[in-house]
Amino acid sequence: MVRLGLYAFYCCYELTSVSIPETVTEFDEWCFIDTKLTEINISKNVTTMYGTTFQGNKQLEAYNVEDGNSNYKSVDGVLFTSNMESILSVPAQFRGEDGVYVIPTTVTALANNAFKNCVNLTDVTIPESVTYMKASMFIGCASLKRCKLPSTLETIPPATFAGCTSLTDIVIPESVTSIGFGAFGSCQSLVEIVIPDNVETMDFGVFQECTSLKKVTLSNKLKILDMKTFRQCTSLETILIPASVEQIGSEEFAESGITEINVAEGNKFYSSIDGVLYSDNGETLFAYPVGRTTPDYSIPTGVTKIGDSAFFGSLIESVTISSSVRLIDNRAFARCNNLTFINLEEGVEGIGYLGFYNLPLLTTITLPSTVNTIQEKAFGRCPALMSIQSLNPEPPVCTNEEIFDYDAYTNVALNVPEEAVEAYKTAEVWSNFENITGISGIADINADNASETWYTIGGVRLDGRPSDKGVYLRVSDKGVTRVMIND
């Protein structure tokens, strides 16, 4: 036998020792994964290995390379190339000097996952000789508190420090120009970070779930801030978007603690109005500060689009969407756990994928007559939903049957214009509703000249202002308004 193939000892969970013949000269990737090996002995005849060959062995204490091997070398249990220029793998139980490890100055390269799950390391210094690192370098190093990066580094690769839950001391060198996806994901002890001015791009999820992060200073040359960068950063309250930023991704601040999003003067693509992130011309609402505890919000007149995930996970309880809005984009109001009242004014035409997904307290929704398209799962997982009013005499086009949960077709009352009942009963998706009722009297409401007249959502005229909680129609000389009575 000359070679151990791919996954040769994959998931041999109880394997504690293995004797490898000296005739084996090559190890493929992922040969030993998730075993209980504490030591791995490598003969002098081995010519080929990879950084991933021995990944996932959480009890591994040392690599031992036999003297005379011309390709590999072990020092203090760490696996190097023979010239000491590259670290291939560090055993998961490696401790260095009481948790401190200074990488030798001969090293110029670090393999993928080189320090993965090294749970005993607390402090690592990377020498100036290293100009490039590969992905997931320190992923899962749960005790790592400090890492000194070289001033020669140009990129922080994806998932470099992901899951380093104790990391508190990290300085990103001025030489860095880009930060890869999830580079600091779930660094739950990180409180402050400064992104140096040469960084132009930050990939998605760079600081996702950094729950202690309170202060972020972004690069003044930053152009791209990809999606989910600060998602679930529950301690982050304010941020300043530099003037250089041209692109901000969706779910940027979803489920975070953000209460104010500011934009530096001179930005040509974005603006901030009362701490809410808009396009430069104010026509698109990109991100509402989801950590705000103010219960109500009204979309300003002039906004034509509510962007992807704009309110994702926010604390709002009621929202009025103005008549200028034409599109509610994907995930716009998803996971708004407190949202109980949505006032959609006439004008909205389209509701995107997951637009109002997972709203546990929403009991009723009125779709104005202008709504003509509803995307998949727009009202999925709204378990409290009891009634839907669709005022368009032509049933809106639904992309598939998963617009609503399947039990909604049995449990939810669908109210439509009286003259459109048959159209809804034969329309795709809408025909699945078992309880479709025609709304009477709606057509004549605007002609009522009374100073203030109240109707049920089904169009039944009431004697004065209703006393019971619920959603009603109020008619005045200013027109028809849907009102939620809470008192």
What is the sign, positive or negative, of the torsion defined by CA atoms of 381, 385, 389, 395?
A: positive
The answer for residues whose C-beta is within 8 angstroms of residue 447's C-beta and 6 or more apart is: none
By residue count, the chain amounts to 487
Q: Which of 299, 312, 305 is nearest to 251 (CA)?
A: 312
Q: Which of 169, 121, 122 is nearest to 149 (CA)?
A: 169
Residue 268: what pLDDT? 97
* CATH of range 293-439; options 3.30.530.20, 1.10.10.10, 3.80.10.10, 3.30.2350.10: 3.80.10.10
Q: How far is CA 97 from CA 75, 77, 103, 128, 483, in A?
A: 13, 13, 12, 21, 68
How many angstroms separate the CA atoms of 188 and 179, rounded? Answer: 18
Cα separation, 442 vs 457, whole angstroms: 9
- In the prediction, which pLDDT does 480 show? 59
Burial class (CB in 10 A: 0-12, 13-18, 19+), 260: middle
Residues contacting 35, CB < 8 A, separation 6+: 9, 12, 13, 15, 16, 57
Rounded-to-integer distance, Cα 107 and Cα 399, Å: 56
User: Would you identify the CATH topology of the domain 95-276?
Assistant: 3.80.10
- Residue 470 is predicted with a pLDDT of 73
Distance CA 159, CA 150 (A): 18
In this structure, are strands 387-390 and 413-417 parallel, antiparallel, or unpaired? parallel
Ordered strands of the 201-202 beta sheet: 155-156, 178-179, 201-202, 224-225, 247-248
Residue by residue, DSSP assigns 101-163 as EE--TT--EE-TTTTTT-TT--EEE--TT--EE-TTTTTT-TT--EEEPPTT--EE-TTTTTT
Distance of CA 35 to the CA centre of its chain: 33
Predicted local confidence at residue 439, as pLDDT: 80
Find residue 109's DSSP bridge partners. 86, 132
In this prediction, residue 11 carries a pLDDT of 81
Q: How far apart are CA 362 and CA 354, in angstroms?
A: 14
Close Cβ partners of 63 (under 8 Å, ≥ 6 residues apart): 39, 40, 42, 54, 74, 77, 78, 79, 89, 91
Question: Which pair of structure tokens corresponds to residue 76?
Answer: 């203090």
| pTM score of the predicted model | 0.86
DSSP secondary structure string, 93-114?
T--TBTTEEE--TT--EE-TTT
How many CA within 13 A on the CB side of residue 354? 14
Q: For the chain, first and last CA: distance in Å? A: 81
pLDDT, averaged per 10 consecutive residues of the chain (487 residues), comes to 85 89 91 92 93 89 96 97 96 96 96 94 97 93 98 95 97 97 98 97 97 97 96 97 97 96 98 97 97 94 97 94 96 96 94 98 92 97 93 95 94 92 97 90 42 68 80 66 68
